[in-house]
């Protein structure tokens, strides 16, 4: 029996200050497409455990895995300096 995926709203754009914020964006993007966590992990080419760690902001995940998941789910990350001269 197929599980029903509850679509979560994508949070407002904001500075990425913690893993919880990233996890919320990843989960919302995944559910918005109607993918379960197993489908999304396969689509992104990462292990289910990696996807769970990213979404729950628990454990250590390789940066390359995070970047791949974001790219595959259509999440853009911006980098810049907060230091002014």
Task: Write the pLDDT tens digit of every residue in 55-66.
Answer: 999 989 999 999
Q: 77 to each of 2, 44, 68, how far by Cα in Å? A: 32, 16, 11
Question: Token digits for 11?
Answer: 């949070």
Task: Identify which has the larger pLDDT, 2 or 37.
Answer: 37
Instruction: Look at domain 19-72 and name its CATH class.
Output: mainly alpha
Question: Token digits for 68?
Answer: 């791949």
Secondary structure string (H, E, C) spanning 18-43: CHHHHHHHHHHHHHHCCCCHHHHHHH
Domain boundaries along the sequence of the chain:
19-72
- Please state, in angstroms and rounded to a whole number, the distance separating the CA atoms of residues 10 and 78: 17
| For residue 84, pLDDT beyond 90 | no
Q: The whole model's pTM is what?
A: 0.81
| For residue 77, pLDDT beyond 90 | no
Question: What is the predicted pLDDT for the residue at 1?
Answer: 62
């Amino acid at each position: 029996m197929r599980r029903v995926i509850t679509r979560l709203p994508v949070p407002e754009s904001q500075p990425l200050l913690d893993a919880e914020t990233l996890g919320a964006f990843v989960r919302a993007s995944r559910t918005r497409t109607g993918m379960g966590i197993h489908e999304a992990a396969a689509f992104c080419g990462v292990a289910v455990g990696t996807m769970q760690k990213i979404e729950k902001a628990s454990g250590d995940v390789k940066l390359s895995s995070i970047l791949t998941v974001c790219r595959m789910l259509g999440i853009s990350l911006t980098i810049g300096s907060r230091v002014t001269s």
